[in-house]
Amino acid sequence: MSARDRSGSISLSPRNIIPVCSQLSPSQVSVIRRSWRHINTKGLITVLTRCFSRLESNCPIASQCFQSATYSLSTNPCGVRTVADHAKYLLQLLDKIIEGDVDSEFLREIGANHVGLQRDTGFSSLEWDRFQEIMVEVILKQDGVKQSKEATRAWRLLICSFIELIRDGFDAQVRQFRRKHSFNAHVQYFENIEKRVGVCPNRKISLNVDPRTPRNDVRKYSQY
């Protein structure tokens, strides 16, 4: 089918849609794909590396994450740890996003896989927001993008949309972990109480004594 219907407007075929950014119009999708073919050269890996390097230099927590090099994305069997690893992974991810081969749930899963960083280093939504700002700034300066206002608007929408989905998956996993941790803490608290009561049977019996029954071993104050 033609990209345009008989009236001259762009049709809403699957090829004119990027699933992770429904705000994009068909014309904006077309602009992104044209500009992607222009900027997706051997030098693009250096551009994406610059994004992560700037995040590392601007955010101490992100720097700690990269320097530890102990964390990997479970979505990538080869492991994604260093700045260079992340740049290569992002390049592959962008290619799939622009082709429409990635859905929102996949991006949320990527974010969820970073929850270990929150526990170990305090990594939070602030780092996601900062990376989003850096990536928008870097990509919008590329030849093939900066010359067109429509291209800059479209790329800004796309970058903000897919990083927000990743961040949403991260935030949801953090909340789930905190709820689970809080529940386990309460369970542990009551288990500890039961253990203490178990090693003090007299105390356990006393809890069932009728408070109206006088105790012979308790002296009245008047006896002192």
What is the predicted pLDDT for the residue at 93?
97
178 domain-assigned: yes
- The answer, as to whether pTM is greater than 0.75, is no
What is the predicted pLDDT for the residue at 9?
43
- Would you place residue 80 in the very low, low, confident or very high pLDDT band (cuts 50, 70, 90)? confident
Name the nearest CA neighbour of 117 among 63, 50, 182, 57: 63
Does the pLDDT at position 154 exceed 90? Answer: yes
Does the pLDDT at position 44 exceed 70? Answer: yes
Q: Show the domain range for 63.
A: 15-185
Residue recorded with tokens 């994009």: 24
116 domain-assigned: yes
Average pLDDT, the chain: 81
What is the predicted pLDDT for the residue at 179?
83
CATH of the domain at 35: 1.10.490.10
Tokens of 94: 């962008």
- Would you place residue 67 in the very low, low, confident or very high pLDDT band (cuts 50, 70, 90)? confident
Judged by average pLDDT, the poorest of 35-49, 94-108, 185-199 is 185-199
Name the nearest CA neighbour of 173 among 128, 109, 122: 109
81 domain-assigned: yes
6 domain-assigned: no
Cα 108 to chain centroid distance, Å, stands at: 6
Residue recorded with tokens 């720097």: 63
In degrees, to the nearest 5, what angle opens at C-alpha 172 toward C-alphas 169 and 175?
150
10 domain-assigned: no
**3-class DSSP state for residue 16?**
helix
The Cα 224–Cα 220 span in angstroms is: 8
Half-sphere exposure of 166 toward its Cβ, with a 13 Å CA cutoff?
24
144: left (phi over 0), alpha (psi -120 to 50) or beta: left
Total structural domains in the chain?
Answer: 1
Both ends of the chain: CA-CA distance in Å? 103
pLDDT above 70 as % of the chain? 69
The Cα 56–Cα 53 span in angstroms is: 5
pLDDT in tens, 168-204: 999 999 999 888 766 454 445 455 565 666 555 554 4
The Cα 189–Cα 187 span in angstroms is: 5
193 domain-assigned: no
78 domain-assigned: yes
92 domain-assigned: yes
- Would you place residue 120 in the very low, low, confident or very high pLDDT band (cuts 50, 70, 90)? confident
